[in-house]
Amino acid sequence: MSTVPITKYGAELLKEELQRLKTKERPAVINAIAEARAQGDLSENAEYDAAKERQAFIEGRIADLEGKLGSSLVVDPATLSSGADGRVVFAATVDLENLDSGEKVTYQIVGIDEADIKVSKVSVTSPIARALIGKSAGDVVAVEAPSGVREYEILEVRYV
């Protein structure tokens, strides 16, 4: 099984969700199933069917999270500064300037499950992250976007 990179923060979020599912959601759905069973005929019991569906979802999500956590390689950005030599690597935060518009943006390169463009976190598999990996401050990168090629200058690479 191959390892999948994830930031320390992303791993903590997955662990919190797993803990919540196991300690709160799972017992609640077990109680809901028991209450629905107590009502009698299960063949026409909508509450029972809904509770069983919810249980299947919860158990599937627990298995998914355990699998992800088991195959992940946790990367702490704070420990990267000495080994990365100022290059863009997984978990780095990168300040960029769009050479066409002059707009400045900041992105952190994160794992697939942590990506959220609304909080400036881009997946390591995204076109912009693939273009940035291995580059340093001062480099210009071309990114193939749906609207065409965009050029960015790397202003700063941080490991925070």
Digit-coded pLDDT (tens) for 76-130: 887 876 556 788 999 999 999 999 899 999 999 999 989 999 999 999 999 999 9
Averaged pLDDT, 13-29: 96
Higher per-residue pLDDT: 27 or 36: 27
pLDDT tens digit sequence for 48-61 = 889 999 999 999 99
Computed over every residue of the chain, the mean pLDDT equals: 90
Whole-prediction pTM: 0.80
For residue 107, give the nearest of 60, 157, 35, 47 by alpha carbon.
157
Please state, in angstroms and as integers, the Cα–Cα distance from residue 65 to each residue in 4, 20, 68, 113, 119, following that order: 13, 12, 5, 10, 22
**Which residue's entry shows tokens 């030599």?**
85
Task: Catalogue all structural domains in the chain, each as residue range(s) with its CATH number.
Answer: 4-75 (1.10.287.180), 77-158 (3.10.50.30)
Q: Which pLDDT value is given to residue 66?
A: 95
Residue 44: phi and psi, rounded to 5, are -125, 30
